[in-house]
Amino acid sequence: MSEYNSDAFKWSIMDTVLGLASLGVGIFYGYANSKEIPLRKENLETALAFGPTIVQGGLGLLSGGIKGLMIGAELGLYAVRPEDNAIKQFAKGTRGAVLGTLTGGLIGGAIGGVKGGIGTLMGYLIGYTAGQIIK
């Protein structure tokens, strides 16, 4: 089995950029709401509220699914016994890969969605507070 890789859990530049984007979107949305500025585009309000969460959740789903695929396939092949025939070996590797992909995607998507939601919420609170103070 592979050794623990601490590089996989380090904060990346993409996390920083997406976090700042979520914060910026939240600040704009909160400021616009505090000043009662109408958002003229029909879907703009929904995009500002849920866009960062969807984007970060989707990217987390993708990266978590890829990591889960690699780990699950390795664990599935690790479960292979010497007396298993080729079909059983393939089935165990495939089962591990599928379950790893689903689990990794679910966990990665959830974590990404929560990070996007928290960033947007923090930005909204900052923007709304700033708009109320400036009034």
Residue 3 domain flag? no
Number of domains in the chain: 1
What was the pLDDT predicted at 105? 93
The percent of residues above 90 in pLDDT, for the chain, comes to 47
Are residues 127 and 29 in contact, defined by beta-carbon separation less than 8 angstroms?
yes
Q: Residue 7 falls within a domain, yes or no?
A: no
In a domain, 2, yes or no: no
d(CA 134, CA 34): 10
103 vs 100: CA distance, rounded Å? 5
* CB atoms near residue 89 (< 10 Å): 16
Q: What are the respective helix, strand and coil percentages of the chain, to the nearest 5? A: 80, 0, 20
Q: What pLDDT was estimated at residue 102? A: 94
Distance in angstroms (rounded) separating the CA atoms of residues 103 and 98: 9
Query: Considering the domain boundaries, does residue 110 fall inside one?
Result: yes
pLDDT tens digits for range 50-71: 889 999 999 999 999 999 999 9
pLDDT digits (tens, 9 = 90+) for 15-56: 888 889 999 999 998 999 898 888 887 788 888 888 899 999
Q: What is the pLDDT of residues 92-133, one digit of tens each?
A: 888 889 999 999 999 999 999 999 999 999 999 999 999 999
Domain that holds residue 113: 12-134
